[in-house]
Structure 1
Amino acid sequence: MVVSLEQAVAAPLCSSRLADAGARVIKIEREGGDFARNYDSVVEGESAYFVWLNRGKESLVLNIKDPGDAGLLNKLLAKADIFIQNLLPGAAARAGFDSSSLREKYSRLITCDISGYGDTGSYADMKAYDLLVQAETGLCSITGTEEAPGRVGVSVCDIAAGLNAYSGILEALYSREKTGRGLV
């Protein structure tokens, strides 16, 4: 079972690939739901992005700051194989769901933290948005025209992050078969 505390694109893409491969995926959403639900309404009144990224998943609304909801999330994690999260930098840790704490409690749990800039360095606490990362990497300079650079039409940086996370999780599953322990 996969438990994914996710929003937007990167983590939902990763967990959707796991769902496509046959995993049971439980998407944990904040109150009010994943903001990607409201990107548009072109798929029978639902967001095309949301439908694309969340097909085949179960969804559960939890407020992880609430002790009762946090307890329910811990019960799910005790049975889970994989935990994915892509909250704002530090948010999962502040709620007690950082990878090191979770792996102490659940030694076979594979954890995957997706962030824009990693967990160390001067950018570690910064929010990352696909367009911002496209601009920082120079991708916008080769898209559009010289007079009007533009973003790539899709969230290519978020998609790449989600696929890299998926690849890392597959490698961690193989490793756990040999060692019996989950990885970050």
Structure 2
Amino acid sequence: MDGGRGTGDEGRGEERDAPLRGITILAFEQAVAGPYATRQLADLGARVIKIERPGVGDFARGYDRTVHGIASYFVWANRGKESLTLDLKHPEGRAVVEALLERADVVVQNLAPGAMERLGWGGGALLERFPRMIYCGISGYGDDGPYRDRKAYDLLIQAEAGIL
């Protein structure tokens, strides 16, 4: 487990009247949907803490190397956020997440279907422990239906929709 890699405060809603100032969001996210959603919330003043995997972090970091060796999309989608690299299967990493959950107002996740449940942090479990928490689970295919267990990425959804 190592310290986070900040993505900068540019664009963050620091004004006194920012509507989400004082709200803390814990984000288990990568690629497009999760990072874009929480970027909007950071722009509105929320404190967004992005949790990344050890070694590679959000795989969107590698889309290109335009901005000081980091993908331009990653920098754009993650501006104004804090970032922590944590091993969610290691007791130390789990302890850090548990401490953050105690103070979080919102959890946003777009991990593979079932990943948060397997970690013990699915929506049902968290809302039982923290009834005032807002839990946002983003998936490509929804919670039920024949494709609910499939991973989804922007380009895949565009292709399936006939856009490509």
Q: TM-score range by the shorter chain?
A: 0.7 to 0.9
Instruction: Note if contact 2:32-2:154 (Cα within 8 Å) is conserved in structure 1.
Output: no
Q: Provide the rounded CA distance (Å) in 1 between the counterparts of 2:43 and 2:133.
A: 20
Match of 2:111 in 1: 87
Residue 47 (structure 1) aligned with residue 71 (structure 2): yes
Residue 91 of structure 1 aligns with an amino acid whose one-letter code is A
Q: Provide the rounded CA distance (Å) in 2 between the counterparts of 1:91 and 1:59.
A: 20
Higher helix proportion: 1
Q: Provide the rounded CA distance (Å) in 2 between the counterparts of 1:26 and 1:138.
A: 35
Q: Unaligned stretches of 5+ in structure 2? A: 1-23
Matches within 5 A, 1:127-146: 127-140=151-164
After TM superposition, where is structure 1 displaced by more than 4 Å over at least 4 residues in a row? none
Instruction: Note if contact 2:29-2:52 (Cα within 8 Å) is conserved in structure 1.
Output: yes
Return the index of the structure with the highest Cα Rg.
1
Residue 47 of structure 1 aligns with an amino acid whose one-letter code is A
Residue 24 (structure 1) aligned with residue 47 (structure 2): yes
Match of 1:171 in 2: none
Q: Identity of counterpart residues, as a percentage?
A: 56
SS of the equivalent of 1:26 reads: strand
What's the offset of the Cα at 1:46?
1.8
Counterpart pick for 1:100 among 114, 117, 124 = 124
Q: Provide the rounded CA distance (Å) in 2 between the counterparts of 1:70 and 1:46.
A: 27
Q: Unaligned stretches of 5+ in structure 1? A: 141-184
TM-score by length of 2: 0.82
TM-score by length of 1: 0.73
Measured on the aligned residues, the alpha-carbon RMSD in Å equals 1.0
